[in-house]
Amino acid sequence: MAVEIRVPSVGESISEVFIGEWYVKEGDWVKVDQDLVGLETDKATFDVPSPEGGVIASITKAAGETAEIGDVIATLEPGPNPDGESADDQAQTANKETATASSASSSQNDGGSAGGHVMPAAARLAGESHLDPHTVKGSGPGGRILKEDVQNYLAQGGGAPSTAREERRVPMSPMRQTIARRLVSAQKDSALLTTFNECDMSAIKNFRSSYQADFQKKYNIKLGFMSFFVKAVIEAMNEFPSIGAQVDGTDLVYRNYCDIGVAIGAGKGLVVPVIRSAERLSFAEIELTISDFAKRAQNNKITLEELEGGTFTITNGGVYGSLLSTPIVNPPQSGVLGMHGIVDRPVAVNGEVVIRPMMYLALTYDHRVVDGREAVSFLVRIKETVEDPTRLLLEV
């Protein structure tokens, strides 16, 4: 008897999902718990595994379509592999066929358009890579161009920019639509203001250099900069609690805990998973949590629960080379700290000009909740803590 593959419930506020990409096609045999399709919501992406081993009998919702919670998107006929081939062997065979097709396409693409219908995930990747997806030979049913086809084409040196004037239309994913909507809402519904400062990173760099080997040996994780800033934010929030307050109607809601969101670039957009009760965590626990978030974000494994809530956000544009920016508050939060690149610059110290590793800091805050004096003092407190990290040990 056929087994129906339905869209699972993914949260109380989620009623609709976007079919991102099918990893299998009709007629494929799959093993139990093998990922079948990637679904996207306005907050996160996730995969739907196979409940049993069997053959994919039908796919009723194609990539790029939307489906409601509980909708049937595919059916599966349970049973052993009719070809006597394991799912792993089948996957290896499919990969070889895809590689062969991609190799053939690379030799044919000089002659012009090679592909058929472009799947949404392939279209987005091609758009990001400034590649005309129709120059890629598709290995999917009916010559459909899959994300893997674009990846293989790019890996083989394809993707030279076209000299012809062209225009591509790529649908925004639900996550990108939500990011856009929330950013516009933050600008419209909040009284945002940004204050700036700079900090000398010499002390932290020396601290990390002295204890990095021992720290990594004990905890199997590198001591990064982010844990220092998380700790510094917590200390500053204890002194200036209005930074963590949030507007609820005509009330201000204060919390006695620090749930710190950390902005992480994921495969399908920026996500901000939350470090719960960060004030209770050690440096190692913070670093391990952030590392786990980063790994799972690249594989779209961050859960909805991990993205919800938060009292304050930290974003680090410095990893992408940003020198200075004005971050936007993540509603309904009232503040966000922007870290930036560390650059050796001449600064005056005790009347002398010296070269120091400097970082610009930016604090954007909701002026409805936070006064300018508090915001400036909050950022100065972070600067003082970062420039003298022993304060974190002495709690002064």
Question: Among this protein's residues, is 110 annotated catalytic?
Answer: no
Question: Among this protein's residues, is 371 annotated catalytic?
Answer: yes
Token digits of residue 229: 């800033």
Catalytic residue among 28, 35, 371, 388: 371
Q: Phi, psi at residue 229, to the nearest 5°?
A: -70, -35
Task: Give every CB contact of residue 304 below 8 A, 6+ residues apart in sequence.
Answer: 10, 11, 14, 41, 43, 44
Question: How many Å apart are CA 41 and CA 307, to the nearest integer?
Answer: 12
Token digits of residue 327: 């971050």
Question: How many Å apart are CA 391 and CA 386, to the nearest integer?
Answer: 9
For residue 312, which of 389, 375, 357 has the smallest C-alpha distance? 375
User: What does the DSSP 8-state code read for residue 242?
Assistant: G
Task: Give every CB contact of residue 115 below 8 A, 6+ residues apart in sequence.
Answer: 133, 134, 135, 136, 137, 138, 143, 145, 149
How would you class 22 by CB atoms within 10 Å of its CB: exposed for 0-12, middle for 13-18, buried for 19 or more?
buried
Catalytic residue among 33, 83, 89, 367: 367
Task: Give every CB contact of residue 31 below 8 A, 6+ residues apart in sequence.
Answer: 50, 53, 86, 87
Helix (H) or strand (E) holding 129: none
**Residues acting as catalytic residues:** 367, 371
